[in-house]
């Protein structure tokens, strides 16, 4: 892998069978992300954005090709190995926050750290630090229903990076927010990526936010190309 490249897709293919038809969604994708880089994935609905994110994030296996994370080929690893990599090295953010409603913002961010095996005090301190970084430190003991949409999404981002992953996969992370709130959330996410050295692939329909990222790509005929 080239210097500073965190994740690389080499010749990745993804197919689905629909009745007697085989649908090719990803067709020999070659793509890489560097440390501290934010890349916007801009493509029409149905083009395969979610499939690309799920395959790069090891939620789905490539039918051909490979996903290489920090120099390690991951496409053919066992389910347990892939789960461990996702838990430790890959963060996910979606359009809807998917926070656990019975837990506070702080506890939601603590959860993946506790699953990883961190002591409760250490997980709590890390969660509080991330809430402060996302500029919602005073909201840590509120449950999701008591937070605004932008606050909920900032908690979701903090939760996604709680275990200090190498890569962040975000699928329309501001798609459910009004333009002003979307800008605030994007600013917080951008600062976090640059400060931590994350590599981030962000699917978005928001062309204004996409233009503020390091580069833009799209999907055409199952391949990733410059936008």
In a domain, 101, yes or no: yes
The pLDDT score that the predictor gives to residue 17 is 85
In a domain, 9, yes or no: no
pLDDT digits (tens, 9 = 90+) for 55-106: 999 999 999 999 999 999 998 899 999 999 998 899 998 877 789 999 999 9
In a domain, 31, yes or no: no
- How far apart (Å, rounded) are the C-alpha atoms in residues 104 and 15? 40
In a domain, 110, yes or no: yes
The pLDDT score that the predictor gives to residue 95 is 77
Pairing of strands 167-171, 199-203: parallel
Q: Provide the whole-model pTM.
A: 0.89
Q: Is the dihedral of CA 4, 9, 46, 82 positive or negative?
A: negative
Could you report how far apart the first and last alpha carbons of the chain are, in Å?
23
In a domain, 210, yes or no: yes
The pLDDT score that the predictor gives to residue 11 is 96
Kind and range of the H or E run holding 116: helix 105-116
pLDDT digits (tens, 9 = 90+) for 116-157: 899 999 999 999 999 998 889 999 999 999 999 889 988 999
In a domain, 200, yes or no: yes
CATH number of the domain bearing residue 110: 3.40.50.300
Tokens of 128: 């509080």
Domain that holds residue 134: 36-61+78-226
The pLDDT score that the predictor gives to residue 34 is 94
pLDDT digits (tens, 9 = 90+) for 208-223: 889 999 999 999 999 9
Contact by Cβ (8 Å): 159, 109 = yes
The pLDDT score that the predictor gives to residue 176 is 79
In a domain, 18, yes or no: no
Percent of the chain with pLDDT over 90: 67
- 146 versus 1: which is more confidently predicted? 146
Q: Write the burial class of residue 151 (CB in 10 Å: 0-12 exposed, 13-18 middle, 19+ buried).
A: buried
Phi, psi values for residue 89, rounded to 5°: -120, -5
Average pLDDT, the chain: 91
In a domain, 142, yes or no: yes
Residues forming a β-bridge with 200: 38, 168
Number of domains in the chain: 1
- How far apart (Å, rounded) are the C-alpha atoms in residues 195 and 129? 14
Under the banding of pLDDT at 50, 70 and 90, the label for residue 2 is low
């Amino acid at each position: 892998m080239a210097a500073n490249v965190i994740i690389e897709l080499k010749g990745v293919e993804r197919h689905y069978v629909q009745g007697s038809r085989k649908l090719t969604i990803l067709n020999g994708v070659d793509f890489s992300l560097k440390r501290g880089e934010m890349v916007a994935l801009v493509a029409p609905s149905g083009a395969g954005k979610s499939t690309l994110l799920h395959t790069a994030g090891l939620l789905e296996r490539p039918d051909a090709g490979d996903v290489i994370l920090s120099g390690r080929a991951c496409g053919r690893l066992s389910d347990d190995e892939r789960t461990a990599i996702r838990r430790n090295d890959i963060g996910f953010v979606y359009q809807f926050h998917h926070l656990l409603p019975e837990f506070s913002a702080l506890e939601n961010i603590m959860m993946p750290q506790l699953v990883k095996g961190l002591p409760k005090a250490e997980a709590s301190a890390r969660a509080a630090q991330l809430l402060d970084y996302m500029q919602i430190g005073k909201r840590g003991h509120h449950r999701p229903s008591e937070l605004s949409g932008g606050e909920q999404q900032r908690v979701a981002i903090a939760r996604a990076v709680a275990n200090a992953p190498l890569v962040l996969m975000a699928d329309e992370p501001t798609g459910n927010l009004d333009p002003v709130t979307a800008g605030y959330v994007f600013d917080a996410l951008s600062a976090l990526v640059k400060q931590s050295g994350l590599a981030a692939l962000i699917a978005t329909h928001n062309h204004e936010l996409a233009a503020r990222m390091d580069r833009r790509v799209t999907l055409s005929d199952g391949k990733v190309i410059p936008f």
